[in-house]
Amino acid sequence: MAELGRAALVITLGLSAYALVAGAAAAALGRRRLALSARNALIASFFSTLVAAAVLVAGFLRDDFSLAYVAGHSSRALPFAYKLSAFWGGQEGSLLLWLLVLTGYSALAVWFARKRARDLVVWVTPVLGGIAVGFSWLLVGVSSPFDTIPAPADGNGLNPSLQNPYMVAHPVLLYLGYVGLAVPFAFAMGALLSGRMDERWIVATRRWTIVAWTALGVGQLLGAHWAYQEVGWGGYYAWDPVENAALMPWLAATAYLHSVMIQEKRGMLRVWNVTLVSLAFCLSLFGTFLTRSGVVSSIHSFTQSAIGPWFLAFIVVAVVFSVTMIWLRLPQLRTTARLESLVSREATFLYNNLLLVALCLTILWGTAWPIVSEAVRGEAVVVGRPYYDFFLRIFGLPLLLLMGIGPLVAWRRASLRGLARVFAWPAAVAAATGVALIAFGAGSSIPGLIAYTFSAFVLATITLEFSRGTAARRVLTGESVPTAFSRLVGRNRRRYGGYVVHASVVLLAIGVAGSSAYDSVVEGKLARGESLAVGGYTLTYRNLTEKDAANATEIRAVLDVRRGGDSLGTIKAGKNAYSVEQQVSNEVGIRSDKLTGEDLFVIAEQVNDDGTVFFRIFVKPLVNLIWLAGLVFVLGSVITLWPDAREERRLATRYATVGERRERTATT
Amino acid sequence: MLGAALAVAVVVVVALPFLREPTPDSDALHELDAAERERLEAEEARDRALAALKELEADHRAGRISDEDYRAVVGVLRRDAAEALRELDRVRAMPRGGTRTESAKSA
Amino acid sequence: MARSSSPARLVVALSVAAVLAVFLLYTSLAGGGTPSVSPSELAAKTGEVSLAGRVVGTPTGDAHGAGLKFVLEDIKGANKQRVTVVYKGSVPDLFRVGRDVVVTGTQRADGTFVTKPGSMITKCPSKYQAAKT
């Protein structure tokens, strides 16, 4: 079976190389059949990669330990779902997953765009082929999942921290996001290569970008939830280089999503847009590089491996290529449209972009500085939490405020007087909220208070938008409130879907502010019967239980929880000892309060032989809003993505004559 | 073996365009000529201008924009739209070399 | 034909300048990060550092009591040195003999390395990669 897997990957490499070379030749020389052939090769590369992936999956499911990768990440006792997810539990498998998603997306992208943007697709094919060449080369020549060994009796098993539902979904979603950014990148490069600077590349990739951006966002939230529940140190984000690796392209993509709207409405910022989409893609390559090559010490890092230098070369090629193409096409990219006023929606989007990119670059600096420092000064440094917290506040809080301002400012030019009128009510709501919060003690953290006040402002503006829109519609059509509301959203999916997404970001901000600025913690060693009190709760340690599960021994300390005289049941926290993997994992106890959204978070840090346990207990207010924000985020994205029949018809008429013209005869 | 079968299959798929049309009338890739490109860009400019007007009207009706702000901008937008429509008419009226126009396609 | 300069350029330029100013201000006040050293480099440094090394020997003591005492050795290099570390605070689950850990702290006059509580992080073991090389 390993030979089939290896052969399939070699075939993918060959097909990608063909798509790159033949595709470039076909586009440059204007050869139709060659272009179709290159496109077919790109689509076929998905199927050959699928064969390779199927071989690996079969290896896991059949406990085929002659495959070194299977032996390294699976075991006979591993539950079925984790045998599947072990596919991406290590470097080679995750590279294969990357390639699978890439070829899958490439096939879909060139297939869907084949009618409307034929002259664009001929250039997109070699770009996507080139990216596939990079990854398939790594899999064939450097880091193969199909290396064989004399089969041991049992495998090494999967790292226990990966044995939970989050780690089944998190990497897949992140890859759907990372790789998804390759599609708008390829179309942007295709537009530059072909010299066609019309909007088609943006129209063709709008939904791709949103899907990738949503997947990347949800993937990160899942990762944060995993860190919260499974790693269990009491937080959900540690500014670890691997976490930042996913955040940076997401921030760049967020900036891109907004600036692309300006290009759509005003035809400006074309250079900025192609730069942003290239930045987003290069950051996602960099993110994969950080995660896979172990170049920066982090709790996720794999040992320094051979793919590091290749990845770095890959990123350098991508950066040089993008910069060169943008430079070469600079004259065609420039437009006459100008920013007319610093108080306009274009300007607000520009500020939003500047803040997002600034945040992205400071995170990039903080992540890359240790590497640079070691290379240049010979001295490695570690950038700590305070650096990131500082810049997150400096850039993030104004961004939060802008989310409320942007949608209400007019295009081109807005008068300050008009703005004052529009923002009067939301500002009043925000001020009132701020005062009320101070009365409740929120003044203990100034950044937290600011975050809450700004959030109130944004929520007020969003509510205003929905209610005003509905009211305006009812004036025209006389519909009932629910009908007017749903028709309003239905006719303006991008706008109101966007508002829902903004609302989700606000929920995220409130959750983050509450759980980090206003949390409480207590720790201590307890013998049976002793108690600890924190944040209004009192926890009493009752007893210790030990249970044998499928592949681990589960030790749990049981505590009674009381609050203000009422019993709230029990909570369990402890450790799992994994027999095969010879590891211990932390299993925290979390009690979520449905009403207030706060969590009681119990860590049994150390279970001593005499039965005493050292506990660390947190109370984290509003933390569950973060996970709720994830759901609202997906809802908003779905609304934005929903196909709009009218818009489709309009675009179809516009592009009908472009893609479907028959070939002209050679004689003009 | 399976690997060889896969290799043969992909070679066929890649060669398909050549196998289907061994001697085509034209192997030239359709590329937009200058006139078509201009038309496309003119159409995009028109759509942009009309959409901006429509959005202004909607914003005004919904109360997002005050009367005086509306009056300040609507003139500019109407001028832009008129200009875009004029440009589109000019480009459409331009003669094109040796091709069927889109009106010759099914109505 | 004179082109009216767009305020966009000015805004971008001012913003970049503002960001750089904030950044430089912060790093000059708060420092550019904690130096990361190995046990053999420790002697040359004073002040707070981030010590990275491999756990050797047998750890003794209680991290939640008087302190967990263990020895760290250079991960790489021919001239490996060892340093004794006294650690208080949360011990990550992955901590064991043979694992690479990073702790932040300062070295005392008597040579022991005293850590900031809770500052230990471990690196995920890469089970198969290590065996290959």
C7 occurs within a structural domain: no
Using a CB-CB cut-off of 8 Å, the residues of chain C touching A369 are 32-33
A 147-186 near C (Cβ less than 8 A): 156, 159, 161
Q: Give the per-residue pLDDT at A294.
A: 59
* Whether A173 and A302 share a structural domain: yes
Between A374 and A362, where is the model more confident?
A: A362
* Whether A551 and A490 share a structural domain: no
Cβ-based neighbour number of residue C13 at 10 Å: 10
Sheet holding A520-526, edge to edge: A520-526, A613-620, A599-607, A589-592
C20 occurs within a structural domain: no
Q: What is the mean pLDDT of residues B71-96?
A: 85
Is the predicted pLDDT of residue A664 greater than 50, yes or no?
Answer: no
* Whether A597 and A490 share a structural domain: no
**pLDDT class of A662 with cuts at 50, 70, 90:** very low
- Which of A38-42, A521-525, A664-668 bottoms out in mean pLDDT, i.e. has the lowest? A664-668
* Whether A551 and A458 share a structural domain: no
**pLDDT class of C34 with cuts at 50, 70, 90:** confident
Q: Are B13 and A7 inside 8 Å of each other by CB?
A: no
Q: Give the per-residue pLDDT at C50.
A: 85
Sheet holding A552-563, edge to edge: A531-534, A537-548, A552-563, A566-578, A583-587
Domain with A62 in it:
1-158
d(CA A268, CA A411): 13
* Whether A219 and A341 share a structural domain: yes
**pLDDT class of A383 with cuts at 50, 70, 90:** confident
Is the predicted pLDDT of residue B32 greater than 60, yes or no?
Answer: yes
* Whether A189 and A139 share a structural domain: no
User: In a 10 Å sphere around its CB, with 0-12 CB exposed, 13-18 middle and 19+ buried, how is residue A553 labelled?
Assistant: middle
C103 occurs within a structural domain: yes
Cβ-based neighbour number of residue A661 at 10 Å: 16
> Which amino acid, one-letter code, is at A106?
S
Using a CB-CB cut-off of 8 Å, the residues of chain B touching A420 are none
CATH number at residue C69: 2.40.50.140
Asked if the ipTM is above 0.90, the reply is no
Q: Are A302 and C129 inside 8 Å of each other by CB?
A: yes
Q: Give the per-residue pLDDT at C94.
A: 77
* Whether A232 and A354 share a structural domain: yes
Q: Report angle CA A143, A148, A154 to the nearest 5 degrees.
A: 115
Q: Are B64 and A119 inside 8 Å of each other by CB?
A: no
Q: Give the per-residue pLDDT at C3.
A: 43
Is the predicted pLDDT of residue B102 greater than 50, yes or no?
Answer: no
Q: Give the per-residue pLDDT at C6.
A: 64
Å between A237 CA and nearest CA of chain C: 14
Domain termination site, one of A123, A139, A158: A158
| DSSP secondary structure, B32-100, as one string | --HHHHHHHHHHHHHHHHHHHHHHHHHHHHTTSS-HHHHHHHHHHHHHHHHHHHHHHHHHHHS--SS--
**What is the percent of chain A with per-residue pLDDT over 90, rounded to a whole number?**
57
Domain termination site, one of A106, A133, A158: A158
* Whether A117 and A169 share a structural domain: no
Q: What is the mean pLDDT of residues A21-49?
A: 93
Query: How high does pLDDT run on average in chain C?
Result: 77
Q: Give the per-residue pLDDT at B104.
A: 41
Q: Give the per-residue pLDDT at A312.
A: 83
Cβ-based neighbour number of residue A408 at 10 Å: 22
Between A479 and A358, where is the model more confident?
A: A358
- Name all chains with 3 or more CB-CB pairs below 8 Å to chain A: B, C
C61 occurs within a structural domain: yes
Å between C89 CA and nearest CA of chain A: 9
- Which of A207-216, A295-304, A416-425, B4-13 bottoms out in mean pLDDT, i.e. has the lowest? A295-304
Selected for mutation to probe chain C from A299, A364, A587 (highest C CB count within 10 Å) is A299
d(CA A228, CA A217): 16
**pLDDT class of C123 with cuts at 50, 70, 90:** low
Check: CB of residue B29 under 8 Å from CB of residue A26.
yes
Q: Are B10 and A667 inside 8 Å of each other by CB?
A: no
**What is the percent of chain A with per-residue pLDDT over 70, rounded to a whole number?**
95
Q: Are A382 and C102 inside 8 Å of each other by CB?
A: yes
Q: Are C128 and A391 inside 8 Å of each other by CB?
A: no
Contacts for A349 with CB less than 8 Å, ≥ 6 apart? A258, A259, A261, A262, A406
Tens of pLDDT, residues A252-282: 999 999 999 998 888 888 899 999 999 999 9
* Whether A423 and A337 share a structural domain: no
Query: How high does pLDDT run on average in chain A?
Result: 88
Q: Give the per-residue pLDDT at A661.
A: 44
The token pair at A619 is: 């109370």
Phi-psi region at A479: left, alpha or beta (left = phi > 0; alpha = psi -120 to 50): beta
C11 occurs within a structural domain: no
* Whether A300 and A173 share a structural domain: yes
A–B contact: 3+ Cβ pairs < 8 A: yes
Q: What is the mean pLDDT of residues A383-400?
A: 91
* Whether A72 and A203 share a structural domain: no
**pLDDT class of A615 with cuts at 50, 70, 90:** very high
| DSSP secondary structure, A283-334, as one string | HHHHHHHHHHH--S--TTPPPP-THHHHHHHHHHHHHHHHHHHHHHTHHHH-
**pLDDT class of C124 with cuts at 50, 70, 90:** low
Q: What is the mean pLDDT of residues B54-60?
A: 85
Check: CB of residue A282 under 8 Å from CB of residue A238.
no
Check: CB of residue A574 under 8 Å from CB of residue A604.
yes
* Whether A269 and A360 share a structural domain: yes
C–B contact: 3+ Cβ pairs < 8 A: no
Tens of pLDDT, residues A544-556: 999 998 778 999 9
A544 occurs within a structural domain: yes
Is the predicted pLDDT of residue B18 greater than 90, yes or no?
Answer: no
**pLDDT class of A296 with cuts at 50, 70, 90:** low
Q: Give the per-residue pLDDT at A300.
A: 42
Nearest to A379 among C35, C122, C130 (CB): C35
Please state whether beta strands C34-37 and C49-62 pair in parallel, antiparallel, or not at all (unpaired): parallel
- Give the count of domains, chain A: 4
Between A320 and C28, where is the model more confident?
A: A320
Judged by DSSP in three states, C123 sits in coil
Q: What is the mean pLDDT of residues B54-76?
A: 83
A 98-157 near B (Cβ less than 8 A): 118-119, 122
A650 occurs within a structural domain: no
State if pTM tops 0.95: no
A356 occurs within a structural domain: yes
Q: Are C93 and A585 inside 8 Å of each other by CB?
A: yes
- Name all chains with 3 or more CB-CB pairs below 8 Å to chain B: A
Q: What is the dihedral of CA A27, A19, A116, B103, to 10 degrees?
A: 50
Using a CB-CB cut-off of 8 Å, the residues of chain A touching B50 are none
Domain with C48 in it:
36-132
> Which amino acid, one-letter code, is at B62?
A
Using a CB-CB cut-off of 8 Å, the residues of chain B touching A472 are 58, 61-63
d(CA A355, CA C12): 11
d(CA A225, CA C85): 32
Å between A66 CA and nearest CA of chain B: 19
- Give the count of domains, chain C: 1
Closest CA to C121 of A171, A301, A373, A381: A301
Check: CB of residue A186 under 8 Å from CB of residue A131.
yes
**pLDDT class of B76 with cuts at 50, 70, 90:** confident
Judged by DSSP in three states, A533 sits in strand
Å between C55 CA and nearest CA of chain A: 16
Any chain B CB within 8 A of the CB of A58? no
Domain termination site, one of A334, A369, A404: A369
C48 occurs within a structural domain: yes
Number of A to C CB contacts under 8 A, please give it. Answer: 125
C1 occurs within a structural domain: no
Nearest to A418 among B16, B56, B69 (CB): B69
A374 occurs within a structural domain: no
d(CA A266, CA A339): 9
Å between A245 CA and nearest CA of chain C: 17
Selected for mutation to probe chain A from B20, B64, B79, B91 (highest A CB count within 10 Å) is B64
